Structure 1
Amino acid sequence: MERKMKKMVVSGDVTVDWFFWSVKGMDPGGMGGEIPLNWELHTGMRKEVIPGGAMLLARFVKDVTGSIVISPQLTNLNQIPPEEVLHFTVMLSRFPYSSVRKAEKDMVLRVEKEAGYTGPTLGKVKQLTVADDDPDAEIVVIDDAGNGFRDEEPVWPAALKDKRQEPFVVLKMCGPLARGKLWDWVQKSHAERLVVVISADDLRTEGVQISRQLSWERTAADFIWQITNNRSLETLAACHNLVVFFGLDGVIHYMKDKDSFKVHLYYDPLQIEGGFSQMHRGGMIGLTSAFVATMVAELANGGLDGLGEGIRRGIVTSRRLLQKGFGNDSARVDYPGKELFLPPQKDEPQIMDVPVPRQNALDSEEIRVWTILEDLTQQRLEDVAYNTLTAGKDPALDKVPIGQFGKLKTLDRTEIESFRSIKNLMVEYLSKGFQNRPLSIAIFGPPGSGKSFGATQVAKSIGEESIERLEFNISQWESPDDLIKALHQVRDTVLRGSVPLVFFDEFDSNFQGLPLGWLKYFLEPMQSGVFKHGDITHPIGKSIFIFAGGTSEAFKNFSREGCDEKEINLFKEAKGPDFLSRLRGYVDILGLNKIGENDKLYMIRRAILLRSLLDQKARHFFDSTGILQIDPGVRRAMIKVPEYRHGVRSMEAILDMSMLTDKRVFEQSALPPPKQLKLHVDAELFSKLVTMDVLFGEKREDLARIIHNSFLQDIKKSKEKRPKNDPAIKPWDKLNEHYKESNRQQADNIPRYLHAAGYGFSPVVRREPVRVKLSIDEIGKMARMEHERWVVEKMGTGWKYGEKKDTAKKLHPCLCDWGKLPKKEQDKDRHTVRRFLDYLAQAGFEICKLD
């Protein structure tokens, strides 16, 4: 990218960074007869000294902009004592390039441990002035690490202190945040051209509650609530541009303008905060500096309007720095050069961005939970589901955050947050040594929603190989002795060195005629981590208990939320509150079926699961590019059937009953017969969905007849005078084939019109079609399309525009653009469109929103 050359000055807290790393001793057998010195046979230690802090930031700014950058200067670094300039010591080690590339040739040097600072034992750290300072600098970049620079006004750049200057000021600030003379000065003198860059972790350190590793929507919502309501953030909330980075995976850009503000979220949809770092072991010095330098380059090129692109590219740059580390040369270390700042490459994950709605300032009364998925897909959910099933992706989903837990994939924000929450609990629990009580988690969902599968995949995604799965169905137990036997199996698993992942399925079953009768028997094992067998008390050991609901489809049902006093008292008698107090988390799994009228994402959930199941059971249906070969009718039925009677198990059963072997396409003939289908779906409706294209084709003639008869009725009602020999107003049986075909063409185009307005249609069985009221805009859009179709049809048969209709000369005054069509004629097309619902209803179909 061609950069505009601007005068830049970079200053701030400076360090002398010392890097130490070990090297292997020499192998005498591989030296060709040359005898090594004794010290060369032993593991050795190498060291390198590199300018750090503001000087490193200045180096990066110079590399990315190509400009002359004025900054503090130091020479003979290895001779500078820590009494003059802070020293920072870092221990390096060799790490795999990533969790995927682990070969020896791909190893790179990264930070294993930050050993800390060395400074003067008495007095302050010496602050450096800018060499050859220029008061006319157009961009001032400050690295405020909280090590004294912020309060030493004499060393600040001249362009920053001169009230006559109006440079862009980029302040990279560490905690304590928004304090000191420097902060007061830039807020007072450079507010409108100031860009402040801070980390989310520094905010959290100061007591700002922003969730971690749940979902990007939740992170953004927490930030907005805090910046709006937390009085300790008032000075930050006054910033015209505040950039908050969340690891190497996301950034929030807060923009204040007088009394209003906007928030933009930048994020990797495939990761959550900290995800990229987890894939690349070891740390790296200078990650934030690389981000800021990239942002400064875009600021220099496009002013404040360039910040968005600078943030996006900055995330990519800082990720590259972590990946590359200090290279794999054991002889010396250094930071990557200009190649670090190349434009994003095709193989690098895309950084997406979305505006965050202000109404998402969360509190306990919030009704609507904002999701990126709904904002991006809007009225295309049916198409998105079809594309997701067939191609594994849809352009609308490129920006949507994805929760991937082993083989479990979900796009639903609520599920993502719940699964990540229990994953975090498991990671924390497993990372600790001895545990004297189990980790207890509850999972709820409709029958067949995949409760067991979900929890298992979350556990596997942790990468802990010692986890061993056990499962018990409580509804089949006859006495508390069955629980004792189960806990012995759990204990035996612990003694073998594994961590049991124990599923207590249908834990909320009745026992001895009492609702939730088993709860009280779990209290002691959950609380104390022990169980009694006779007079002997046995410790259970480190284990994870998963309580899967059988009679309760959601946590609020189990906890009796919103129930009457009688139900609540029964819950208390069953020790329900005591059981809840021992849980450390819960998940509500949505399953495949639509949950209430507001559940607009069920079709996408089905598409994701169906593609996964077919990948396991019929991999031969996928071509070399990953496209699923599936008949459109089969696809439609599997996605749109109103209900799978037994959830995931029903979808899987339909696949198991289908004849998929030795076929290259999942065709209609492969499906099981209706008698088998009715075990799992409404077989009649499922079959009609499969053959809907054929059904619509069969109804084509009926629809055309209905359209023509409606036209005749409208002519009669309007008392429009037409010649008796007008061929267009004859009964259907006597109608000229040309006019019949025109009606057929109109019928053929109804699905296209509906789709353009965000509607689809489905066959109806055993009930009357539900009527949908079309909006004025939707009617207008379809009416215009119908007019355009009619114009093409007429002109295709030789008709032309004429001020008056002349059948002999094939002239018509309505053969014009929609905007020039008289309102009376437009209203006729609108009336025709309104009748579409009647036409489809008479033919046995109903229309429905695609979302």
Structure 2
Amino acid sequence: MAVVVREEPPVVVVDGDTTVDWAVKSAPECCLTSEERLTAESSGHWLWGGAFLLADLIDGAVGRTALVRGVPHGEECPTLDSPRTHHSFNTLQELPLDEETGKPTRDAKWRIGSFVGFHPQGNLDRYALPQLSEAEKKRLSVYVINDSALGFGRSSGPWKDTWKDIKGHADGGPWVLVNLRLGRGESKDELWDSICNGVRVSGPSSMSRRLIVVTTVDSLRSAGAEISRGLSWEKSALDVIRELKRNQALGSLRYCPRLIISFGPAGVLLVDKCIDHPNYELLFDTEHTEESWVRDHSAGSMFGYSQALTAAIAKRLIDFAKPPNRAIDTDSLERLHSKLCDGIEYGITCMHKIYDLGFPDPGDAPSVLRFHKDCMEEPKKKETNEPPPAPRIGRSIVRDYDDMSNWSILGEKYSGRDPLRVAKDIARLGPSYLQDVPIGEFQKFLSVDREELEALRAVQNLIAEYFSDRHKKKPRSIGVFGAPGDGKSFAVTEVAKSIEPGKSREALTFNLSQFDSPDDLIGALHQVRDRCLAGEVPLVFWDEFDTSLDLAELGWLRFFLAPMQDGTFQEKQVTHHVGRCIFVFAGGIYSSYESFLRKADDYPNAKVVDFASRLRGYVDVVGANPRPGQIVDLRVQVRRAILLNSFLSRAGIRESKGRKEIDEGVLEAFLKIPRYLNGTRSMEAIVDMSRLRKGSGFGRSALPPEVQLKLHVDASRFLDLAGRFA
């Protein structure tokens, strides 16, 4: 009879800073009187955080495939005066709340309502790790350290003995995975210094090959790195790369052979110096940036994002390292890179689950808080024809050239393909056809153009910050430029709506080309003031603000200086305050901010510079035409394809297996025509003038006659393109 030898599982050791995260369960109603204070039920709960939580999450991820040895915490309620943990204090609420009733909605989850404060222990009396047997030491696969810059790295605890053992291994030693929060320089982190020194002196040996560091972009910012917040994934990634190279405060990270930088649940940047091809790979939520994810998930917050990502990577490391302590050859470096990317994608999914699931109902009695058991569950593999599960995670190599101002993930992903074929597929299938590409969705306005997206998100941040800060009493002024018909007002309106999706915000619009004198402007400002006095924060569009007044070019600008700067306007001898509002100045003549600013020298009396200095932001809306000096390339054709898909959906074009039925030549004409005379408006007009019925296809015979096409395009060229496949 054959004897079955059971293979012993690999061992994972987890150590580091330990915290207890306290959460007081609070009722949605506020206590207004001392009597109500005695009847509003509440209870206290605690989450084992830091290295405790990291060990628990790794244990939940690996199951029986590995043996996890972490700092023990037990089930009993910890004491607030315990010298062995740090303590954070929070409120626990069922969120979101219904705006009308003030009670939790039907889909509410238990999450952290607010952060109250943090109490660090000055001299931490550390927990001792369980002792490993000699057999377990031989199976040690991954050593995970949670270094939150809270004293673990400065203590004289057992980490020093363990560290000696780790760096004493030959090339077959355990992996070292560090979840790192950078300190602010006020105290020395001996552990991190030891790791860095080990990498410097080891060269290509065990330490440099087997070290992986996980940190957060907020940790880099706290250390002094200048990294933009959620304007575009391209800019965020390039900012990180620049700061890692140039910022002395991040000098220790330059020695890391593999560095994983988290943007929270929205994305992660992997820096891998152990492979030959490009070292930077970005994995990201295609529908969100770092900032927009936080804005769209504002119904409370959660702990443990960084620990969940580290746990997911630890699981992939264990899978890669079986059997434990095997040497790393050159061929395996590529496979490891792939495993890390897979682990990061798994980690992003887990971070999303932590927020989406919240905490299980903790009950009314004091008890321990736990994450849902499913939060570290492996993502299910989708069938071929199924849509990708949420979140939709994209991947892109990030190039590191001297001039990356025009680099985009869109261009990176589709550089080797026929741009016209890509655009045709988007027009027929919709923007969801774009795989691994960031899509900026502001309610009904979509964009994939990096430059436009960065400007729109900067404006979105300006408006959101103004809405939330009630201390700001003067109008906030934003400029919007673009060719006539490119949808400037529509773009900014949708951006404003995206900040508070459920809130109705009707814009006030005034066209200055229809005003006869400054008296008309006074009347308009009174309408704005009335809305402000009613408690609104209106969005006010000043269309064609760059039109002339009494034959004076840009003559209206000087009348806006006082309302923009001081928030006041003069009516005879009376000074009125405008109130809290957003001024949006939409140009009708100048297609870009730069072309508008160049007029300062031509019209010195127009106060162009004074006006521009009062703007707090601007955006150049692109539309259906190329920018000046550009050609109809991939970016232009993709923009047109997204617009056309929207217009065809509105027209009710027939679909077959999800593809809109439009003639190949007609589609090519829409995408390749060099210029639309009135931008996006012309493109929409051609669809509108075509002889289309709901449920019909779009053939060449449905196009409007040439005399009508001349209103919007070079008609002969358009028809020539449309007839090429006849």
What is the TM-score normalised by the length of structure 2?
Answer: 0.85
Tell me which residue corresponds to 1:443. 480
Deviation at 1:118, TM superposition (A): 4.2
Tell me which residue corresponds to 1:636. 668
Tell me which residue corresponds to 1:591. 623
Equivalent AA in structure 2 for residue 484 of structure 1: I
Alignment counterpart, residue 46 of structure 2, candidates 45, 49, 61: 49
For 2:631 and 2:699, how far apart are their aligned partners in 1?
32
1:49 touches 1:77 (CA, 8 Å); kept in 2? no
1:139 touches 1:167 (CA, 8 Å); kept in 2? yes
State how 1:672-751 maps to structure 2 within 5 Å. 672-694=704-726
Query: Greater Rg, structure 1 or structure 2?
Result: 1
Tell me which residue corresponds to 2:14. 10
C-alpha distance after superposition, 1:576-625 (max 9, x if no partner): 11111100001111111123335522111111112212323x23x24485
Deviation at 1:456, TM superposition (A): 1.0
Deviation at 1:471, TM superposition (A): 1.5
Deviation at 1:490, TM superposition (A): 1.2
Tell me which residue corresponds to 1:249. 266
Tell me which residue corresponds to 1:418. 455
Tell me which residue corresponds to 2:118. 117
1:436 touches 1:528 (CA, 8 Å); kept in 2? no
Alignment counterpart, residue 25 of structure 2, candidates 3, 21, 26: 21
For 2:449 and 2:350, how far apart are their aligned partners in 1?
30
1:110 touches 1:326 (CA, 8 Å); kept in 2? yes
State how 1:325-344 maps to structure 2 within 5 Å. 325-328=358-361, 330-331=363-364, 333-337=369-373, 340-344=376-380
For 1:687 and 1:259, how far apart are their aligned partners in 2?
50
What runs of 5+ residues in structure 2 fail to find an aligned partner? Answer: 1-6, 30-34, 199-206, 322-335, 383-388
Tell me which residue corresponds to 1:529. 567
1:98 touches 1:279 (CA, 8 Å); kept in 2? no
Change (3 A) 1:656 1:591: same
Q: Secondary structure at the match of 2:57?
A: helix
For 1:376 and 1:513, how far apart are their aligned partners in 2?
50
Change (3 A) 1:97 1:503: closer
Deviation at 1:104, TM superposition (A): 4.6
For 1:230 and 1:79, how far apart are their aligned partners in 2?
41
Tell me which residue corresponds to 1:131. 130
Equivalent AA in structure 2 for residue 156 of structure 1: W
Deviation at 1:217, TM superposition (A): 0.3
2:709 touches 2:715 (CA, 8 Å); kept in 1? yes
Deviation at 1:493, TM superposition (A): 1.9
Equivalent AA in structure 2 for residue 632 of structure 1: E
State how 1:538-557 maps to structure 2 within 5 Å. 538-557=576-595
C-alpha distance after superposition, 1:541-561 (max 9, x if no partner): 01111111122111111111x
For 1:663 and 1:195, how far apart are their aligned partners in 2?
56
1:384 touches 1:394 (CA, 8 Å); kept in 2? no
1:130 touches 1:157 (CA, 8 Å); kept in 2? no
For 2:211 and 2:495, how far apart are their aligned partners in 1?
43
For 1:651 and 1:124, how far apart are their aligned partners in 2?
69
State how 1:216-231 maps to structure 2 within 5 Å. 216-231=233-248
1:97 touches 1:324 (CA, 8 Å); kept in 2? no
C-alpha distance after superposition, 1:274-312 (max 9, x if no partner): 433433321112121111101101011125432121111
Tell me which residue corresponds to 1:705. none
C-alpha distance after superposition, 1:296-329 (max 9, x if no partner): 0101112543212111111111111111111246
Q: Secondary structure at the match of 2:157?
A: helix
For 2:83 and 2:432, how far apart are their aligned partners in 1?
58
Change (3 A) 1:344 1:270: farther
Tell me which residue corresponds to 2:333. none
Alignment counterpart, residue 611 of structure 1, candidates 636, 645, 667: 645
Deviation at 1:114, TM superposition (A): 2.7
Deviation at 1:633, TM superposition (A): 2.6
Q: Secondary structure at the match of 1:124?
A: coil
Deviation at 1:146, TM superposition (A): 1.7
Change (3 A) 1:264 1:59: same
State how 1:459-478 maps to structure 2 within 5 Å. 459-463=496-500, 465=503, 467-478=505-516
For 1:4 and 1:261, how far apart are their aligned partners in 2?
38
For 1:622 and 1:341, how far apart are their aligned partners in 2?
40
What runs of 5+ residues in structure 1 fail to find an aligned partner? Answer: 26-37, 561-566, 695-851
Deviation at 1:206, TM superposition (A): 2.1
C-alpha distance after superposition, 1:208-238 (max 9, x if no partner): 1100010000111111111122122221112
Tell me which residue corresponds to 1:387. 425
Higher relative contact order (CA 8 A, sep 6+): 2
Tell me which residue corresponds to 2:177. 170
Change (3 A) 1:648 1:257: same
1:107 touches 1:328 (CA, 8 Å); kept in 2? no
Deviation at 1:642, TM superposition (A): 2.1
For 2:27 and 2:560, how far apart are their aligned partners in 1?
54
Deviation at 1:96, TM superposition (A): 4.6
The two structures, once aligned, show a CA RMSD in angstroms of 2.8
Tell me which residue corresponds to 2:440. 403
Change (3 A) 1:678 1:214: same
The answer as to 2:166 corresponding to 1:148 is no
For 2:398 and 2:548, how far apart are their aligned partners in 1?
46
Alignment counterpart, residue 292 of structure 1, candidates 298, 310, 332: 310
1:23 touches 1:330 (CA, 8 Å); kept in 2? no
The answer as to 2:344 corresponding to 1:311 is yes
Query: Where is the helix percentage greater, Structure 1 or Structure 2?
Result: 1
Tell me which residue corresponds to 2:328. none
For 2:615 and 2:411, how far apart are their aligned partners in 1?
32
For 1:4 and 1:533, how far apart are their aligned partners in 2?
86
For 1:181 and 1:256, how far apart are their aligned partners in 2?
24
Deviation at 1:10, TM superposition (A): 0.3
Deviation at 1:98, TM superposition (A): 13
For 1:578 and 1:686, how far apart are their aligned partners in 2?
44
Alignment counterpart, residue 373 of structure 1, candidates 387, 410, 420: 410
State how 1:826-841 maps to structure 2 within 5 Å. none
Equivalent AA in structure 2 for residue 237 of structure 1: R
For 1:57 and 1:549, how far apart are their aligned partners in 2?
54
For 1:104 and 1:96, how far apart are their aligned partners in 2?
6
Change (3 A) 1:456 1:394: closer
2:90 touches 2:117 (CA, 8 Å); kept in 1? yes
Deviation at 1:443, TM superposition (A): 0.8
How many residue pairs get aligned? The number is: 662
Among all aligned residue pairs of Structure 1 and Structure 2, give the percentage whose two residues are the same amino acid: 37
Tell me which residue corresponds to 2:301. 283
For 2:341 and 2:432, how far apart are their aligned partners in 1?
24
Q: Secondary structure at the match of 2:235?
A: helix
2:209 touches 2:274 (CA, 8 Å); kept in 1? no
For 2:132 and 2:428, how far apart are their aligned partners in 1?
61
Deviation at 1:149, TM superposition (A): 0.6
Q: Secondary structure at the match of 1:91?
A: strand
Deviation at 1:12, TM superposition (A): 0.6
Q: Point out the more displaced range, 147-156 or 176-185.
A: 176-185
For 1:383 and 1:369, how far apart are their aligned partners in 2?
22
Equivalent AA in structure 2 for residue 608 of structure 1: I
Equivalent AA in structure 1 for residue 370 of structure 2: D
1:250 touches 1:315 (CA, 8 Å); kept in 2? yes
For 2:531 and 2:28, how far apart are their aligned partners in 1?
41
For 2:482 and 2:91, how far apart are their aligned partners in 1?
48
1:11 touches 1:130 (CA, 8 Å); kept in 2? yes
State how 1:806-825 maps to structure 2 within 5 Å. none
Tell me which residue corresponds to 2:329. none
Q: Secondary structure at the match of 2:243?
A: helix
